[in-house]
Amino acid sequence: MKQVFKRPEALVDVPFHFCPGCHHGIVHRLVAECIDRYGLRDKTIGVASVGCSVFLYDYLDVDVVEAPHGRAAAVATGVKRSRPDNFVFTYQGDGDLAAIGTAEIIHAANRGELITVVFVNNAVFGMTGGQMAPTTMAGQETTTTPYGRETKTNGFPIKMAELLSVLPGTTFVARAAVNNPKNLMRAKKLLRKAFEIQTNRQGFSFVEFLSACPTNWKMTPELANKRVGEEMISYFPLGIFKGETN
Amino acid sequence: MTETVLVKGNEAIAMGAIEAGCRLYFGYPITPQNDIPEYMSKHLPEVGGTFIQAESEIASINMLLGASATGARAMTSSSSPGISLKQEGISYLCGSQIPGVIVNMSRSGPGLGGISPSQGDYFQSTRGGGHGDYRTIVLAPHSVQENYDLTMKAFDLADRYRNPVVILGDALLGQMKEPLIKHKYQKKKFPKDWVLTGTKGRKPRRLKSLYLSEGELTEHNWALYKKYQRMKRITMYEELYLEGAKLIVVAFGSVARILKTSVQMVRDRGMKVGLFRPITLFPFPYDRLEKISLSIRNFMALELNTGQMVEDLKLAVGHKKNQVDFYGRPPGSIPSPDELYNEIKKVYKKRIG
C-alpha cells in the first residue's frame, strides 16, 4: 500500500505545547515538510524568536539559535553571512517581527539577505496573555485594548507583507492562511516557493501566515478558524505581493 | 613579520582583529570610533571577510550573535551610547555562551554627553550593563600597541570561555597615533563542539538562554558562575616601582598612561610612589592587590569619572588600617601629568608626610 501521509522527518516526535486550535503547529509542520522536500535537514540553521514561537528548537530536528526579542532577522543575517551555504530561516510572531523587530526585518529585507522569513500573524501577543499586537484588528478586544482597538489612539493593524513588498531588496513576499484545506494547500506552495528562492540564491523571501489564537481571542478553535476566514483575510488579503508563483 | 607603522589607536584595534582571524564585522557609526568600521569596510573584503553597516547598534550586536553562533570570529565596535544599546545582545551572548568581541571606545555621558574621553563606563563594563547575573571579560589597553595586542588576545579569550569580551578604551586611546609593531597572530585551537553548521553527521545543536524546566535555570547559572570564577586565572596587570613604595597609585587605560609620567615626577622628588595598572577590569586583580596591601598600606585610585574602579580597589585592599584615597574628575577634559602629580603629592603629604 502506498503511504500518503506521515510525520515529516524534520519534525521531532513530541507533543506540541501549543493550545488547541492554534495554527503554529500547522505552520511548524509546513516548515518541516519543506526542509524534508528540499533535503535541507543537515544544512539548515533556524533562528527562533521570542513568544510562542520560541520552542521551535524543541520541534525541529535542525540546528537552532535563539534570538533576542525582535532581533531574529539580524541574527539570521549574521548566520547567513558567515555560512552562505547553509539554509537559514527565521520563525517569528507578530509582536516579534512587526513591533519590536520592525527595524531589523525591514533592513534585512532591504539588504536582500539570502534568508527565508516565516511570519506568524495571529493579531495578538500570545505568550504574554493576549495583549494588543501591531496586527490586532480594529475594534478587537485584547487585555490592553479592553474597549476594543481604537485606531485613533492605537493606530492601524500593520500590513507587513505589503510593506516589505515595496522594498527593492525583497524577491518573494506572500501572505497565506491555514484555516481551511484550500488555503493550506496554497500556503504549502507559497512556502515551497520561499524556500526555493533561497536555495536558488535568488534573494530574500517572506511568507506571512494568518493564524488563529483561540485562547487569547477567547473563542473555540472552530470560531477562531472562522474568524481568520471572515475577518482577517478581508483586511490582510492572501496572495503574492512580490515575485512569481512558479 | 615585525613591521613598525604609525597608526591611530582605533586602526590598531581593527588591524589586530583582522590579524587574529576576525572575518565579520558589524557596526553603526558613532564618534570617536569611526576609524574602526572605516578600516574594516576597506580591509575585510581583501581577506574575503564581511563588513555590514547595520541599521542600529542593536542589529549589529545581534548580527555578531548570529555569526559567532556558527563559530566564526566576529567583532562589533561602538562608543558609550551605542554600547548601552548593545547590552541586551551582550546579556544573550552570555546566556547562550556565544563568544564575540565588543569594542567600547568610550566617550562621556550620561545621555548624549560628549565625545571627549571618559572612564564612566567602568561599572557598565564590569558589572554587566544588561539584565541577569553575568560577567564579561573586560580588557583595558593603555597604548596603541596594547590596543592591537589585546584585541588579538580578546578573540582567544572569547573562544576559550565561550563568552563575550569587552575592550574598554576611550576617545584618547582611539584617536591618538603611536608607533605600532605589527606581529603575526599565533593561531590557537579551541573546542568547536557547540557551533551551528547544520546537523550533517551529528545531532542538532541549540544555542539558547531560555530554561524553564524545574531547576534547569539554577543549574545553568551555577555553571556560568563557575566559568566566571575560572576566569580569575587570566587576570592581567602591570606594576611599577612597588619595591619600597609607601603609596600605590592605581589607574587603568588612558589615565594610567598619563599617570606614568606623573609617577616619574613624584619619584624624581623623592616620594616613594608605586603604580598598579589593572589590565583586566574583569577579572579585577583583587588577589594581587590584597597581597600588596599586606605590606603597603596606602592606595590612591585615579579615574576619569567620579568614582567607579575605586570601589573594586576598596574591595581588594580596604581592610585593617589601609587607606584608599581617590582623585576623580568627570569627563570634559583630560588631566595633565602636572595635575595628577599635584594630586598624588597632596595624598602623599597627608598619609606619609
Determine the residue type at B43. Answer: H
Which pLDDT tens digit goes with each residue over A87-122?
A: 999 999 999 999 999 999 999 999 999 999 999 999
C-alpha distances in angstroms, B9 versus A112, A208, B37?
Answer: 34, 47, 13
| pLDDT value of position A246 | 53
Which pLDDT tens digit goes with each residue over B125-175?
A: 999 899 999 999 999 999 999 999 999 999 999 999 999 999 999 999 999
How far out from the chain centre does Cα B347 lie?
Answer: 28
C-alpha distances in angstroms, B324 versus B121, B256, B302?
Answer: 21, 17, 11
| pLDDT value of position A1 | 85
Q: What is the 3-state secondary structure (H, E, C) of chain A?
A: CCCCCCCCCCECCCCCCCCCCCCHHHHHHHHHHHHHHCCCCCCEEEEECCCHHHHHHHHECCEEEECCCCCHHHHHHHHHHHCCCCEEEEEEEHHHHHHHCHHHHHHHHHCCCCCEEEEEECCCECCCCCECCCCCCCCCCECCECCCCCHHHHCCCCCHHHHHHCCCCEEEEEEEECCCHHHHHHHHHHHHHHHHHHHCCCCEEEEEEECCCHHHHCCCHHHHHHHHHHHHHHHCCCEEEECCCC
How far out from the chain centre does Cα B253 lie?
Answer: 9
Query: What is the mean predicted confidence (pLDDT) over A9-37?
Result: 97
Judge if B3-190+204-233 and B236-351 fold alike in CATH terms.
yes
Q: For residue A219, give how far its alpha carbon lies from the nearest alpha carbon of chain B (Å).
A: 28
- Complex confidence, ipTM: 0.96
Percent of chain B past pLDDT 70, that is, above it, reads 100
Size of interface A-B (CB pairs under 8 A): 140
Domain ranges of chain B: 3-190+204-233, 236-351
Q: For residue A90, give how far its alpha carbon lies from the nearest alpha carbon of chain B (Å).
A: 12
Q: B341: which residues sit within 8 A by CB, 6+ positions away? A: B262, B265, B266
CATH class held by domain B3-190+204-233: alpha beta
CB contact under 8 A, A79 and B58: no
Which residues in chain A have their CB less than 8 angstroms from residue B206's CB? Answer: 57, 63-66
> Are the beta carbons of B199 and A63 closer than 8 angstroms?
yes
Which pLDDT tens digit goes with each residue over B93-129?
A: 999 999 999 999 999 999 999 999 999 999 999 998 9
Q: B38: which residues sit within 8 A by CB, 6+ positions away? A: none
- pLDDT over threshold 90, residue A170: yes
C-alpha distances in angstroms, A34 versus A173, A192, A193, A198?
Answer: 17, 6, 10, 12
Task: Quickly state the pLDDT bin for B331 (edges 50, 70, 90).
Answer: confident
Measured between alpha carbons, how far is B158 from B137 in angstroms, rounded to an integer?
A: 8
CB contact under 8 A, A66 and B68: no
Measured between alpha carbons, how far is A72 from A90 in angstroms, rounded to an integer?
A: 6
- pLDDT over threshold 90, residue B323: yes
Q: Does A104 touch chain B (CB under 8 A)?
A: yes
Which residues in chain A have their CB less than 8 angstroms from residue B73's CB? Answer: none
Q: For residue B195, give how far its alpha carbon lies from the nearest alpha carbon of chain A (Å).
A: 9
Look-up of cell digits 590584597:
B290
Query: What is the mean predicted confidence (pLDDT) over B25-39?
Result: 98
| Bridge partners, A204 (sequence order) | A170
| pLDDT value of position B138 | 98
Q: Tell me phi and psi for residue A171, to 5 degrees.
A: -110, -40
CB contact under 8 A, A74 and B208: no
Task: Note the pTM of the prediction, 2 decimals.
Answer: 0.97
Measured between alpha carbons, how far is B95 from B104 in angstroms, rounded to an integer?
A: 21
- pLDDT over threshold 70, residue A124: yes
The rounded mean pLDDT for chain B is 97
Rg (CA), chain A: 17
C-alpha cell at B211: 530554561
Which pLDDT tens digit goes with each residue over B83-97?
A: 999 999 999 999 999
Q: Quick one: closest CA in A to B63, which residue? A: A78
CB contact under 8 A, B199 and A63: yes
C-alpha cell at B345: 603629592
Q: Does A109 touch chain B (CB under 8 A)?
A: no
Residue B77: strand, helix, or coil: strand
Exposed, middle or buried by CB within 10 Å (0-12, 13-18, 19+), for B249?
Answer: buried
Domain covering A24-242, topology: Rossmann fold (3.40.50)
> Are the beta carbons of A81 and B62 closer than 8 angstroms?
no
Q: Does A76 touch chain B (CB under 8 A)?
A: yes
Which residues in chain A have their CB less than 8 angstroms from residue B52's CB? Answer: 77, 81, 111
Measured between alpha carbons, how far is B93 from B315 in angstroms, rounded to an integer?
A: 28
Which residues in chain B have their CB less than 8 angstroms from residue A96's CB? Answer: none
Which pLDDT tens digit goes with each residue over B233-281?
A: 999 999 999 999 999 999 999 999 999 999 999 999 999 999 999 999 9
Which residues in chain B have their CB less than 8 angstroms from residue A63's CB? Answer: 196-199, 204-206
CB contact under 8 A, A82 and B26: no
Q: Does A82 touch chain B (CB under 8 A)?
A: yes
Query: Do the strands A116-121 and A63-66 form a parallel or antiparallel pair, or are they unpaired?
Result: unpaired
Query: Do the strands A116-121 and A87-93 form a parallel or antiparallel pair, or are they unpaired?
Result: parallel
Architecture of domain B236-351: 3-Layer(aba) Sandwich (3.40)
Region of B233 please: left (phi>0), alpha (psi -120 to 50) or beta. alpha
